[in-house]
Structure formats: structure tokens, C-alpha cells
Amino acid sequence: MGSTLPPFTIKDEPIENLRPLKVRVIGAGYSGIYLGIRIPQRLRNVDLQIYEKNEGVGGAWWENRYPGCACDIPAHSYQYSFHPNPHWTNFYAPSKEIREYLGGIAEKYGVNRFVKLSHKVTSCIWDNAAKKWKIDVENLKTGEVIHDDADIVISARGSLNEKAWPKIPGFKTFKGEVMHSAQWNEEYDFKNKRIGVIGGGSSSIQIVPNLQKIEGVKMTCFVRSRTWIASPFGDASMEKLGLERNNTVMSAELRQEFVNNPKKFYEFRKIIEVDGNTIHGASFRDSPEQLGAQAYFRSLMKEKLAKKPEIMDALVPNFSVGCRRLTPGPGYLEALVEDNVDFVTDPIESITPEGIILANGKKVDLDVLVCATGFNVSSPPPFHVEGLHGMSLQQRFQPHPETYLAVGVDGFPNFFMMFGPNSAIGSGSLTMMIESEGDYITKCIRKLQKEDYVTMMPKPERVKDFSEYCVEYFKKTVYLDQCTSWYRSEGGKGNRIIGLWPGSTLHCLEALRAPRWEDYDFESNNENRLRWLGNGWSVTQIGDGGDPAWYLEPSLTNVPLKGKPEEDEEYKRRPFSH
């Protein structure tokens, strides 16, 4: 019998095949802004839209405005690689400066033209017949629901997004002021108030020393979890740079010197990055780096809590340093030993209109309740995401999230994630990992576009393989010690690490450098899968499409090193797959 397929025809397009694609990004924090820069830069004929639920860009840095909110790693390692900022006023930049930095980046690189603020995505459903995502978006200003569609959806909403409120009986009956660290009332006057702070994580550690200093404040800190209080991250770098460990202010003179002397600024950043990438060994249980960190932090905490040694007994953990998110606490321990602060480890029984009742029967009257209780980081997006066969992402992520290299998941075609499960890091540059994920996803979009694939998604076997790899890798690390941490499944108490990348920052950069296309299932537009070769022309030959001799441009010429590569110092410093 003869073939019933229509005869093959040449696709009358140049080989670059810039077919139109609609891409929708959810979130305009570090990840979404990066995509708003790179997708237009590296792709053509893409209809890009970034939906952001807040009234400004910046993600968590737009939302978090509590007193003392700041970067808890050196800010010079928490910025885009292509736009280093010599103007940070502090080694650990305050949230306002990070928010302004991100806003300035979005403006300078033209990201804002793609961003729709106050637009909250409520539903993403894959239409397999149309090979499109159907997206519902609520305009939070007007209440209007917009029905959109896209070829590709990228979730760039981050992990620190969905606020976790205390699950305590009577919580909603409290009649005083209630605020979350990510929903701060900047107009509230704390002067002469009785303040209750619930939580002992990173936001609490920054909030407490700032509120404690306010006139007339009486504070009670309700802390159930033990935690290591570290010396400021990067303090060793500060010494190497000739700065005082206890003075993190970046003077106007030093900042101006960085502007005037780019080489010195580069060397400054280089030291910070090297230090951040070489402490990875501390993440392994009983390693020399780990044991050294425990001894040092224990002595540091003992010294600062000498006035109230009972806090030392209640606070110092029996788990390894880094099992929970490690937080430097400038001023925190010093605040806990002040006379206007009570440190309470007894369980909270309930909350009344007037305050808190402890399990031991004691009542603590309060005027304001500060919930430094973090985020629901192990949960899927708070909106409906539905892939093939009616499977929701919420269902797929039960009993725990599983992904392929933290960027995709089987059953969800043309769906990518930035800073999703297994995307964070215990040491090293998080922003470099975000850039690597964005570059990886951009390469995937280009492959779909150029080679005429309708869909791509990770093979189930590769998702399973990555899941098994994560389980095995984390067995020897400190992250599975007996602690409660947002790194873990089941609300921080499970036996799966779902927050962290299984390796170092440098390990992640190398893993994502070049996509392994064989790990994906592809659907083609045509029976002849080489139809994308087009009509024999390149866009660089047609009209004003480009330079017909582009390969002679010096910036595009890959000049080999002279002599024997293995003897060249520059060669030795390059990544193996450079």
C-alpha cells in the first residue's frame, strides 16, 4: 500500500527558522528579571510577557521590608555577574538597596516593557490538542480576569513567596496588631509596645535586634527551634580585603575607589567568590570544615550569651552547622540578653484576643504579634498548574517534589522552573545558579523554535534518575541531621532534601552548561524532522537580516591558544567544556 502522508515539501524559511513563540513568565524577582533580559537578547520573534502579582519588581525584596531586612551573604556575591554594583553601602546590603538595584536593572535593560504588575496568575492548564498553555490572570487593581495562552510557561516565582502563618489555636482572635515579616506594616509605631515575636529563623534574627532598641519596648521571643548563629558570612573575606570584621559598612571612600579602580573592584569580588565556593566541604557531616565551624560558632555564642547562659543551653543545637539555613546574626545574641527581652522556649498552647497562653499555663499579654514564621517553600505553586491527562503539579509533587535538574518535570510539556525545587544552595553564589538556569531554559526555547519542535519535556526515567541522585547525594551531608528546615520535605521535617541543589554552585553551573537533549521527549511539527533546514538560505543573506561575513568578526572568532594547551596557565583555569 502507498503512503497516505502528503508529499514532503521544503519549508520556505531560512534555516534560522524564527517561528513565532509566546512565552509567559510568572514572577519578576531575580529570576524573572534575568529572563526579561536574556530572552529578548538571545531569541527573536518571541512574544514575551512577565506577570508579577506585586506593585513593583523585585520579588521577595519587594515584599520584605521589616526593620533590619538585609542580604545575609556578601551583597557583592548577590548580584548579576554582568552588572556588579560598587555602590552597596554595606557588605550585607539592606533590602531597600537590593530592591532599588533590581528596579534599576529592570529599567536599564528594558525588562519593564514586558512586565505586567499587579497581575496574579491563578491557573495554567495544558491544552494538548492545541499544544498551548491556557493561562488565567487576575488584574489585582480591577478584578478583571484575563484569559491568555502561551507556547511556553516559565515559573519564576521563587521559593520565598507563599507566606506561612502560625497554625496556633485562636490565632485569628488576637485583637492587637499582627504582621508577617513579608507583610510588614511600615506605618506602625512600636514605641512603648509589648511585642511578641514568633519564630527563630533568619527573619527573626534580623528583626529582633532592631525592635529591641526602640524606646519603651518589651519583647518576648517565642523560639522552639535550636539554631546556630554564625559569624557574618564572608568575614574571612573582609580580613583579606583589609576591612574590620565587626564593621560591615562600605565607606564612601571605598565605594568611590571601586568606581575609579575597576581592577581593585574585580579583585574584591574575586576574593568573596573564591571564599564562598571553597567552604562547600562544611556541608559534609564530620568533615574537618564542619567540625571547625561547630567549635568556632559554639565559642562565639557562649561569649555573647554569657549574661544569660540559660539561653545558650536552649539555643545551641545538637545538629551540624548548616542543617538549617545558617544565618549570621549581627546584634541578635546581644539583643537576647538585654533586660527588655524575654526568651521563651515553652510551647504555645493558644492565642487569645489579649496575647499568648503557654503550655505551662503562663499568659503573656501583647500589643503586637510579629510572625517571623517563613514561607511554605516545599509546596507547589499556590495556583493551579495542570499538565497532561489532567494531572496537576500539586498531585505530581506528592509526596514530595521531583524534577529534572530542578528546571522541568515529566508530564508538563514546555513548562520550566526557575529557583524551583532543589535550586537553592548552602554556600556559593545563588545568583550565578539563577543565571545558569535562565541560560539553560533560553537554550531550550531556541531549540523548540529553530528545530520546529512543538513540545519538549523531561523523560520520566530521567526525573526518576535525578530524584535517586539527590537521595544518594544528601545521605552524607549535614542537611539530613535531626533539625527542622525549609530545605526538607513534609513542612521541614521530612527525609527528603527538596530545597537545595545536590552539589556546589560550581557543580550546578557545569551541570547546566549544555542541555542533554537525549534526556527529553520531543514532539515535532512534521513527519520529516529535518524540515527545519528550510529553503537553503540564512537570514544573514536576506535583506538587512545581518552580516553575510559574520564569522570574520574578531569577537566571534575562537582563536586557539599558542603552544601546548596543557602548559598554558589560562587554559588550566578554563572550565573543561569551555
User: Across residues 260-267, what is the average pLDDT?
Assistant: 94
Q: What is the pLDDT of residue 559?
A: 78
Give the pLDDT score at 491.
79
Q: Which residues contact 161 (CB under 8 A, 6 or more apart)?
A: 27, 59, 60, 375, 382
Comparing C-alpha atoms, which of 250, 273, 263 is closest to residue 81?
Answer: 273
Residue 76 and residue 235 in contact, taking contact as beta carbons nearer than 8 Å: no
pTM of the model: 0.93
- Grade residue 380 by pLDDT with cuts at 50, 70 and 90: low
Phi, psi of 35, deg, nearest 5: -65, -35
Residue 164 scores a pLDDT above 90: no
33-47, 63-77, 96-110, 184-198: which range is least confident on average? 63-77
Cell of 200: 527563630
Examine the pLDDT at 272 and tell me if it is beyond 50.
yes
**Average pLDDT score over residue span 309-317:** 93
pLDDT value of residue 578:
46
Domain 21-162+377-474+501-524 CATH superfamily? FAD/NAD(P)-binding domain (3.50.50.60)
Q: How far apart are CA 428 and CA 504, in angstroms?
A: 7
Q: Where do we find the cell 574584591?
A: 268
- The predicted model gives 500-505 an average pLDDT of 96
DSSP string across 388-432: GGG-BHHHHTSSS---BTTTB-TT-TTEEESS-TT-B-SSS-HHH
pLDDT-derived band at 326, boundaries 50, 70, 90: confident
Residue given cell 517553600 in the structure block: 377
The SS3 call for residue 97 is helix
Domain ranges of the chain: 21-162+377-474+501-524, 171-228+286-319+321-371, 236-276
At residue 175 the predicted structure's pLDDT band, cuts being 50, 70 and 90, is very high
- Is residue 378 over pLDDT 90? no
- 21-162+377-474+501-524 and 171-228+286-319+321-371 have identical folds: yes
Q: Give 41's contacts (C-beta < 8 A, 6+ positions apart).
A: none
Q: Determine whether domain 171-228+286-319+321-371 maps to CATH 1.10.10.10.
A: no
E strand map for 283-431: 327-328, 341-344, 348-351, 355-358, 363-365, 368-371, 384-386, 415-417
